[in-house]
A = this chain, B = another copy of it.
Amino acid sequence: MDMFIIKNDGNSRKIIDLGDGIRIGEREFTIISGPCAVENEEQIELAAEALSSMGIKILRGGAFKPRTSPYTFQGLGLEGLRLLKNAGKRHNMKVISEVMDPRDLEASYDYVDIFQIGSRNMQNYTLLKEVGKFNKPVLLKRGMAATIEEWVMAAEYIASEGNDKIILCERGIRTFEEYTRNTLDLTVVPIIKELTNLPIIVDPSHGTGRKELIRPLTRASVAIGADGVMIEAHPNPCEALSDGKQSLNFEEMRAVLSDIEAIKNCMDNLNS
């Protein structure tokens, strides 16, 4: 693979510093959580309040939503980003949201702490090059049918423009199996760590599409050495405008967090 900037050269690994002591890729295990989409002020405020009270420091919420049909809810756009940022501010959380249009990056820049690039845009090289020009961390999700090489080279595209603050995120690949929405490919965690110097997190919500599987797959993600997880949580999953089936409520989220803590401790002992 034609990698230069993000290659694992055996030296120190990349750490993404978001300020206020929040770092991704360090020994800390990063938890990103929030609803699939920002729906309104109350919803995102409820999410930020509950999640921050559990110690979660990064809030997710989609404002520009890539939906299969043009006739379903497309997100609140910049107004959604504003609501997200304000909720984050009130609760001392950093925020992340998906960007899809290179022309929106300038305007989005002030609202988010991490640009997210979704699986459908993993090989949208225009967008990759554009986020590569900003001084802002980027979370790059794996494409649904992207090989490891294609994914890693998509990250190199961003880095080649100057921005190497990249977090990779495994979110499941498309296979013949129909029982789950995608097949979460945890094997990539050690592979990415061998090949690159970037942190990698796992998204068990999209990776399975079924809320009852989030907890066991989060356990496995910690054990396999991921640097974090991104998990959808919603004040009321049953009424979510999108992805309700794969969203946890806050009580379920709390159970996941206590799993993470216990297993992370165990892994730290093992690796020390």
Q: Which of B127, B174, B186 contacts A186 (CB 8 A)?
A: B186
Task: State the majority secondary structure of interface residues on A.
Answer: helix
A149 touches B68 (CB 8 A): yes
* Chain B residues, Cβ within 8 Å of A103: 102-103
Interface residues of A in 202-228 (CB under 8 A from B): 207-208, 212-213, 216-217, 219-225
Q: Pick from A8-16, A77-85, A86-94, A258-266 the stretch touching chain B.
A: A258-266
Q: How many copies, total?
A: 4
Given contacts A70-B160, A125-B100, contact A145 B147 (CB under 8 A): no
Residues of A in contact (CB 8 Å), total 70
A175 lies within 8 A of chain B by Cβ? yes
* Chain B residues, Cβ within 8 Å of A148: 177, 179
A183 touches B173 (CB 8 A): yes
* Chain B residues, Cβ within 8 Å of A101: 102, 126
Q: Which residues of A contact B (CB under 8 A)?
A: 2, 4, 66-72, 100-103, 120-121, 123-127, 129, 143-145, 147-150, 153, 156-157, 160, 173-180, 183-187, 189-191, 194, 207-208, 212-213, 216-217, 219-225, 259, 262-263, 265-267, 269-270
